[in-house]
Structure 1
């Protein structure tokens, strides 16, 4: 089956200069891929008519579908609609349903729309209007020379609603799409290149229609298997078989056999055992606590945090002995062991993870250079420690330390039968 291909074009100067982060493309890409549509490109262009026209012309040559977002507002710098009218050689009309929608939305707030607001209902006369129940700018569906063009507002929740309510149903009605399925394993503790070398034989044995992707992040590597085919049962059966092989090959470093965060994995582990955790943080400054409270339901597993950045707080709150700090310093195995012990008493948690280190860019010494970090994890019965030596910038040192600490905690809990 010939793949149905699509590209995403995001429009707006704010995207090019980094003032706004493009989250729309990620959502659209995920939804189209899930439907069986092959994504070829993601392109960002500014609010320049010529750039929009050139991009439409170029991308229409080898795509079945083009999804555009942005530039549909009522102000002078929103030029997507004028560019589309020029591209399609279209006139302009006021869509009655879109006009009523503008009036209805303003009425809900006790307001009357201005003439500028009412221009939101003006659309090229060759498009099919996609009603926007969440905002005033309707979506628009065009067809030209066998290519489908969909223009959507850039406001994320409006775009998402239109994709779900209108765009996907129309595309699924139009095309017979292949099955595309994914399986993801999350690993920690082994770098991308070392992991690739370890599973090289597995990867070489994959059939042509199953691909393996390496998705590294700070201290983690996601391994995603993607299968593509016409028969759903065959695709899923073979994908599951290969995924079982992948999990076996990476079992030493396997964190999760689905695409979830390390934090979510910890939540599930703690909930399954009816246990709680707290943090005693110095160099991570509360970042571990933030990560542990990101998933919903954190109150069932997270007791609290002590951010003891200064030595006097380590002493007064966590009861780290002054002689330990004098003899060994705050960045030491002895200090994090004491921080764990103090955290267990203060927080009343079943487990505590502690961090103390030098994130940089300054503060290092010959004996303890920047990137020297101690992690401690413990419960009432035992404490384990880990020494890290990173040589990156402050932000990367922080991310790596956090993920390493959480994975160290995960392994500690799993071993605590």
Structure 2
């Protein structure tokens, strides 16, 4: 089956927002056996929407659009859909009643724009939106299913779960798609590819294998699909068992791909707790740690010591260290990690101090300089990195991932 996603919105094309909707939809569709063939982003323009639908419809089984269903003049998707379908908008009395009830509960008066949201293309089905005022639209047209969803992420996600996925599963006999992720560190991608040549050449023909490199690590993905999920999982596991002795100790995880999940699993396994002291990363490491389910078992808290005074007063970093070595230094990073570990009484602590840019630090350190420290109270490891080519937000993201990877390596070696 051929599935295409179309995001509609000028805000995406001018870089104002990131299209996270398509990633979410693709993931949820993949979980039920539907693979997305193409993702497009287009302007809020009726002619462009109609041209796009005319172009992709003949070669698509399912088309899902997001955006343009709101009540304002720049929301043109519904009218463009009507023109494409050569039909007209008609009032959906059930949706109108739901809207009237919603506004009554909110003690608000409906205006003509609000009422217009209950208009549906004739022949289409309204997908009830429990979290907003704009319903989604389901249309079956020339052997293709057209689904129009809101651009607001939380509304779209709810409709995907409650309306779209159940309807697609009922409509089609879908296979199971299984992905298995493995994480490998300190193994250059090209060297790893050479080591896995024979294994990869002998994979079953219906398996798909991919390398997903990141700094200092490579994620591996093995994918397969079929009618029986357990059978697919068992077949993939058999290939994973062949991989383990080839990769050896550089295999960090056999079933997870993100460092926050891998580290969380390791900390729970070893019954260790962790805290963070963050300067240039501004709490991002703590955010990553708490994104993992069950993180309350091992993550105690964080001190975002952006200001020098917080480093001194809260983390008890000696002023003489800052005077002698500057805040972006090995010595201060180590003191920050030790300070937060003592403050929050954890087994492990990690710290970051650096210059995210775009301007140089107060002490003249170059943009892109960062120190990361990890300590268990008995020993402390510090590393310096230099990323002058990274934008500020990319620098923060990269350093945060490296910090967690450094913690993982520290814990793995110590235990």
TM-score (norm 2): 0.86
Bigger CA drift: 58-67 or 254-263? Answer: 254-263
Superposition deviation, residue 59 in structure 1? 0.9
Residue by residue, what CA displacement relative to the aligned partner does 1:117-176 show, whole Å, maximum 9, x if unpaired?
A: 111121121223333333332222222221111222223233223222232222222222
Paired position in structure 1 for 2:45: 48
| CA distance in structure 2 between the partners assigned to 1:341 and 1:268 by the alignment | 23
| CA distance in structure 2 between the partners assigned to 1:307 and 1:214 by the alignment | 35
Paired position in structure 1 for 2:34: 37
| CA distance in structure 1 between the partners assigned to 2:126 and 2:316 by the alignment | 66
Maintained 8 Å contact 1:219/1:403: no
| CA distance in structure 2 between the partners assigned to 1:200 and 1:76 by the alignment | 56
| CA distance in structure 2 between the partners assigned to 1:74 and 1:145 by the alignment | 28
| CA distance in structure 2 between the partners assigned to 1:25 and 1:16 by the alignment | 14
* Aligned ranges 1:203-282 → 2 under 5 Å: 203-217=200-214, 219-259=216-256, 261-282=258-279
| CA distance in structure 1 between the partners assigned to 2:188 and 2:255 by the alignment | 19
Task: Give secondary structure in 2 for the equivalent of 1:50.
Answer: helix
Equivalent of 2:407, from 394, 403, 409?
Answer: 409
**Counterpart check, 1:167 vs 2:164:** yes
Superposition deviation, residue 370 in structure 1? 5.2
Show structure 2 runs of 5+ residues with no match.
none
| CA distance in structure 1 between the partners assigned to 2:322 and 2:119 by the alignment | 70
Maintained 8 Å contact 2:69/2:78: yes
Residue by residue, what CA displacement relative to the aligned partner does 1:323-379 show, whole Å, maximum 9, x if unpaired?
A: 655665555544444444444434432222233445555659xx9865454332222
| CA distance in structure 1 between the partners assigned to 2:313 and 2:137 by the alignment | 63
* Aligned ranges 1:242-391 → 2 under 5 Å: 242-259=239-256, 261-295=258-292, 298-308=295-305, 318-320=315-317, 330-359=327-356, 363=360, 371-391=368-388
Change in CA separation of 1:165 and 1:286 when aligned onto 2, cut-off 3 Å: closer
* Aligned ranges 1:51-70 → 2 under 5 Å: 51-70=48-67
| CA distance in structure 2 between the partners assigned to 1:309 and 1:120 by the alignment | 47
Superposition deviation, residue 313 in structure 1? 5.8
Task: Give secondary structure in 2 for the equivalent of 1:60.
Answer: helix
Change in CA separation of 1:165 and 1:374 when aligned onto 2, cut-off 3 Å: closer
Maintained 8 Å contact 1:218/1:399: no
Change in CA separation of 1:371 and 1:98 when aligned onto 2, cut-off 3 Å: closer
Task: Give secondary structure in 1 for the equivalent of 2:58.
Answer: coil
Paired position in structure 2 for 1:139: 136
Superposition deviation, residue 20 in structure 1? 3.4
Residue by residue, what CA displacement relative to the aligned partner does 1:289-312 show, whole Å, maximum 9, x if unpaired?
A: 443344465554334444555667
Paired position in structure 2 for 1:75: 72
Superposition deviation, residue 317 in structure 1? 5.2
| CA distance in structure 2 between the partners assigned to 1:184 and 1:149 by the alignment | 32
Maintained 8 Å contact 2:256/2:262: no
Paired position in structure 1 for 2:104: 107
| CA distance in structure 2 between the partners assigned to 1:340 and 1:99 by the alignment | 58
Q: CA RMSD in A?
A: 3.1
Superposition deviation, residue 54 in structure 1? 1.0
Change in CA separation of 1:327 and 1:164 when aligned onto 2, cut-off 3 Å: closer
Change in CA separation of 1:331 and 1:162 when aligned onto 2, cut-off 3 Å: closer
| CA distance in structure 2 between the partners assigned to 1:75 and 1:295 by the alignment | 38
Superposition deviation, residue 108 in structure 1? 1.5
Task: Give secondary structure in 1 for the equivalent of 2:406.
Answer: helix
| CA distance in structure 1 between the partners assigned to 2:310 and 2:150 by the alignment | 50
Paired position in structure 1 for 2:398: 400
TM-score (norm 1): 0.85
| CA distance in structure 2 between the partners assigned to 1:392 and 1:17 by the alignment | 23
Change in CA separation of 1:38 and 1:131 when aligned onto 2, cut-off 3 Å: same
Paired position in structure 2 for 1:154: 151
Maintained 8 Å contact 1:279/1:304: yes
Maintained 8 Å contact 1:255/1:262: no
Aligned residue pair count: 412
Maintained 8 Å contact 1:219/1:400: no
Task: Give secondary structure in 2 for the equivalent of 1:78.
Answer: coil
